């Protein structure tokens, strides 16, 4: 049995693949510990995984804004000290980092102690933490065709996005009944990712009359502190929720999703064959969501719409919902995208490095 530490958290896109890999490791009899952040999104996402081991680490992001940048460095020192004690107590045999501010201190501490470090980047434009950790990581796992300059080719590998066990396609009627939606009519899933998107919630609120007249149901995930409740009419239910812990059912129930373009969201849409309109978050680091959306839209698996063009969203939504040929084409493209979402190599390499490190220490 190997002891694996996973540094993830801060956003659903960092936390979800860590959970998925931990599920796989635990099934095979290995021990895993997930280092997550203290943000509300982490608390909400981890609550349903009683069988996994989580610990809340220290740290904060680098920006935006001068004050956040100034506060980053003392926070990093606190995080390094906290992580050093955690590593000494847990004694991991390998560390997997999933990017973001929660990865930096564990990566530095493990590297200094000689513990192998792997790093996984899901987005098509690697973030600052990943670019730094890649300089000393044993292995770097990236989306197909993406590479980090200055890193040896033999260290970099194509990798997919680990999908949690509960994110899989199910029959639409079953999924709708699970979520307590009518099995008749069309259903929109609107979500800004794990942290919500006010602009999408406002769009739903502005179109309540259209949903009612067209018999369209909506599940709108608003994020922590967002709107909750339902607006019901004779032929339509519009439900606002902060968070949904049945995302496999939510994707499967929907005829169309309107979402941000994080790599995790895209991989989960593909897993559940859910056609979508992707609206990248325009202030994402390195504009990585736009790069993600362009890649998927180029394959015909989704539509791309900028936030600046959101006035066109209503027309686009109802056009697509009424176009079965387009919906079918997107589902076919999503099936191909899902078939290419392979992350077996990262799982295998994790165990190989852990075994080699354990043998070296004995």
Instruction: Look at the chain and report how many structural domains it folds into.
Output: 2
Asked whether residue 238 carries a pLDDT value surpassing 90, the answer given is yes
Closest to 119 measured CA to CA, from 84, 83, 157: 157
Q: Which one of 139, 162, 185 terminates a domain? A: 162
Same domain membership, residue 158 and residue 178: no
| 154-175 pLDDT per residue, tens | 999 999 999 999 999 999 999 9
Q: Which one of 101, 135, 162 terminates a domain? A: 162
Same domain membership, residue 80 and residue 38: yes
Average pLDDT over residues 341-353: 94
Average pLDDT over residues 7-11: 87
Any domain includes 356: no
Same domain membership, residue 180 and residue 101: no
Any domain includes 344: no
| 25-62 pLDDT per residue, tens | 999 999 999 999 888 888 888 998 999 999 998 876 65
Any domain includes 350: no
Same domain membership, residue 298 and residue 153: no
- Across the chain, mean pLDDT equals 92
304: three-class secondary structure by DSSP: strand
Any domain includes 184: yes
Distance in angstroms (rounded) separating the CA atoms of residues 232 and 55:
41
Same domain membership, residue 335 and residue 186: yes
Same domain membership, residue 269 and residue 309: yes
Lowest mean pLDDT among 36-45, 243-252, 314-323, 349-358: 36-45
Q: State residue 223's pLDDT score.
A: 87
Any domain includes 167: no
Asked whether residue 283 carries a pLDDT value surpassing 70, the answer given is yes
Same domain membership, residue 182 and residue 144: no
Write the CATH number for 60: 3.40.50.2000
| 98-151 pLDDT per residue, tens | 998 889 999 999 999 999 999 999 999 998 899 999 999 999 999 999 999 999
Any domain includes 111: yes
Same domain membership, residue 176 and residue 158: no
| Residue ranges making up the domain that contains 188 | 172-339
Q: What is the token pair recorded at 222?
A: 């608003």
Any domain includes 278: yes
Q: Which one of 102, 127, 162 terminates a domain? A: 162
Q: State residue 63's pLDDT score.
A: 61
Same domain membership, residue 128 and residue 25: yes
Q: What is the token pair recorded at 77?
A: 């020192």
Same domain membership, residue 320 and residue 217: yes
Any domain includes 357: no
325: confidence class by pLDDT, cuts 50, 70, 90: very high
Same domain membership, residue 146 and residue 207: no
Same domain membership, residue 176 and residue 148: no
Q: Which residues contact 34 (CB under 8 A, 6 or more apart)?
A: 6, 8, 9, 15, 18, 19, 22, 46, 52, 53, 54, 55
Q: State residue 348's pLDDT score.
A: 95
């Amino acid at each position: 049995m190997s002891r694996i530490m996973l540094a993830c958290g801060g956003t659903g896109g960092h936390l979800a693949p860590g959970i998925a890999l931990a599920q796989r490791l635990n099934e095979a009899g290995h021990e895993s510990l997930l280092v997550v952040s203290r943000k509300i999104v982490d608390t909400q996402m981890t609550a349903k995984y009683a069988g996994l081991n989580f610990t809340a680490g220290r740290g904060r992001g680098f920006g935006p804004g001068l004050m956040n940048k100034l506060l980053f460095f003392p926070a990093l020192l606190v995080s390094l000290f906290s992580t050093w004690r955690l590593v000494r107590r847990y004694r991991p045999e390998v560390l997997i980092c999933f990017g973001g501010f929660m990865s930096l201190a564990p990566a530095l501490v493990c590297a200094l102690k000689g513990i192998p470090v792997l790093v996984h980047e899901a987005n098509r434009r690697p973030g600052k933490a990943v670019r730094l950790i890649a300089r000393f990581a044993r292995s770097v796992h990236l989306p197909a065709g993406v590479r980090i300059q200055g890193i040896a080719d033999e260290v970099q590998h194509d990798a997919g996005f680990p999908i949690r066990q509960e994110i899989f396609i199910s029959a639409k009627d079953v999924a709708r009944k699970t979520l307590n939606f009518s099995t008749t009519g069309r259903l929109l899933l609107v979500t800004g990712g794990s942290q919500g998107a006010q602009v999408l919630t406002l769009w739903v609120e502005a179109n309540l009359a259209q949903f009612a007249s067209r018999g369209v149901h909506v599940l709108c995930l608003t994020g922590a502190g967002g709107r909750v409740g339902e607006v019901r009419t004779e032929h339509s239910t519009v439900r606002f929720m902060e968070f949904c812990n049945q995302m496999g059912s939510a994707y499967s129930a929907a005829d169309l999703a309107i979402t941000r373009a994080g790599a995790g969201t895209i991989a989960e849409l593909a897993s559940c064959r859910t056609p979508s309109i992707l609206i990248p978050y325009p202030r994402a680091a390195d504009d990585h969501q736009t790069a993600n959306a362009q890649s998927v839209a180029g394959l015909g698996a989704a539509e791309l719409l900028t936030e600046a063009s959101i006035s066109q969203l209503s027309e686009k939504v109802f056009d697509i919902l009424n176009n079965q040929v387009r919906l079918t084409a997107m589902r076919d493209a999503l099936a191909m995208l899902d078939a290419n979402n392979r992350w077996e190599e990262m799982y295998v390499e994790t165990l190989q490095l852990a075994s080699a490190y354990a043998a070296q220490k004995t």
